[in-house]
Homo-oligomer: A and B are copies of this chain.
């Protein structure tokens, strides 16, 4: 499949590269040319006039639980513990592999509408999740999620080997659910596994104040300090949420090259707090953005997250100049890719994977064109996503999905799943 997109504004997100007018060409899933020069030679399956709309690297959803779509709007406006223990857990116990397959597909559709080209997914029944993404042509990095309620370290090792050889669209990173849900013996075995494969390690970290207090009570240390002390981060990795972080925690993130994946919508909606993003940025800690799962957020929308990443810093620091829009865009496109181990999906450069989106600038919320990057972060919305391309294939264009299955079938299956579970 050879596609040429011409007459485009292009923001490659490579260092110090401004927006320019030019074209981008892809073949067999890779970017083969990006630049100002016209190159029309050769046969093209499609030539697309971008009409000066904007191409940029796809957004990366660096923390989510995709298949939780079945619980969207099922149990909101409840205190956190009631939500989790009385609503979420009992329903999750009823999930079949088939449920996960269709509910992950539903999430993937939504990612496409928001210009998200890859997700970093921590959930159960990974075989179903991987199959959903491969069947649709979507890119997914799975994350281990062992805890006291499910999984074995051997199982995680098998998944690591299995999914990293599964399909080019799928990869797998070592991970566990969280310190507070995982006993010390398991955590130590996970640390050893990471060291065996020289692999980075990912987990929910310091999402709530209670979680941190619990860890301090158990081990006399914050989660970051404790996990680091038992050798969890010898090859890097990252933390999801990282809302309640001490200076020592942040120093460890910096020193070990740990990625912080921030989830602002979920953190405000679940009343967890506001992560110190401005401080992390100023320390040079790597940052990425995630939506968290649809049961908590409830939207899988990078535009909402991008606005909140900066707006919540501004209000919590009482400084309207905190966290520039371009920094946020970098987190969403480049930081996310690198945090997930997708270093070939971070920018629009020759040889990189063709995970590309087109933003419709011919919409009222993108006008006038005073500053396109700020327009995207401050006034962008899903309605501006004109095209989402993953691995060189256009999966979403002008509101129509090209994913090999009708969206209506996916909607019907997701409704069937939740309705069956409600009545069991």
Interfacial residues, chain A to chain B (CB-CB below 8 A): 69-74, 76-80, 83, 106-107, 109-110, 113, 265, 267-274, 294, 297-301, 303-304, 307, 310-312, 314-315, 317-325, 362-365, 367-372, 374-375, 378-383, 399, 407-408, 410-411, 414-415, 417-418
Query: Can you name 9 extra interface pairs (CB under 8 A) apart from A106-B368, A368-B418?
Result: A72-B370, A76-B325, A76-B374, A77-B321, A106-B367, A268-B311, A268-B315, A298-B378, A383-B383
| Distance A287 CA – B192 CA, assembled complex (angstroms) | 56
- CB pair A272–B315 under 8 Å, yes or no, is yes
- CB pair A414–B368 under 8 Å, yes or no, is yes
Partner of A368, one of B70, B77, B113, B268: B70
- CB pair B320–A379 under 8 Å, yes or no, is no
**Given A379-B72, A379-B299, A381-B383, CB of A320 within 8 Å of CB of B368:** no
Most chain B beta carbons < 10 A, residue from A265, A268, A368, A370: A368
| Distance A298 CA – B83 CA, assembled complex (angstroms) | 33
Partner of A109, one of B298, B307, B364: B364
- CB pair A369–B312 under 8 Å, yes or no, is no
- CB pair A83–B362 under 8 Å, yes or no, is no
Partner of A379, one of B298, B362, B368: B298
**Given A78-B320, A364-B109, A414-B368, CB of A307 within 8 Å of CB of B265:** yes
| Distance A322 CA – B371 CA, assembled complex (angstroms) | 36
| Distance A408 CA – B417 CA, assembled complex (angstroms) | 44
Partner of A315, one of B273, B298, B407: B273
| Distance A77 CA – B379 CA, assembled complex (angstroms) | 14
| Distance A411 CA – B267 CA, assembled complex (angstroms) | 37
**Given A362-B411, A367-B415, CB of A73 within 8 Å of CB of B375:** yes
| Distance A324 CA – B269 CA, assembled complex (angstroms) | 11
- CB pair B378–A408 under 8 Å, yes or no, is no
Partner of A407, one of B267, B364, B369, B381: B364
- CB pair A381–B307 under 8 Å, yes or no, is no
- CB pair A381–B381 under 8 Å, yes or no, is yes
Most chain B beta carbons < 10 A, residue from A69, A70, A310, A320: A320
Q: Which chain B positions have C-beta within 8 A of A314?
A: 268-271
- CB pair B272–A378 under 8 Å, yes or no, is no
Q: Which chain B positions have C-beta within 8 A of A370?
A: 71-74, 418
- CB pair A363–B320 under 8 Å, yes or no, is no
Q: Which chain B positions have C-beta within 8 A of A414?
A: 367-368
CB nearest to A269 among chain B residues: B311
Q: Which chain B positions have C-beta within 8 A of A310?
A: 77, 269
Q: Which chain B positions have C-beta within 8 A of A272?
A: 315
Question: Can you name 24 A-B pairs with beta carbons within 8 Å?
Answer: A72-B367, A73-B371, A73-B372, A74-B371, A76-B374, A78-B321, A79-B319, A79-B320, A106-B364, A269-B315, A270-B314, A294-B379, A298-B375, A300-B364, A300-B365, A301-B365, A301-B381, A304-B307, A362-B407, A362-B408, A367-B414, A368-B417, A381-B381, A382-B382
- CB pair A369–B415 under 8 Å, yes or no, is yes
CB nearest to A327 among chain B residues: B77
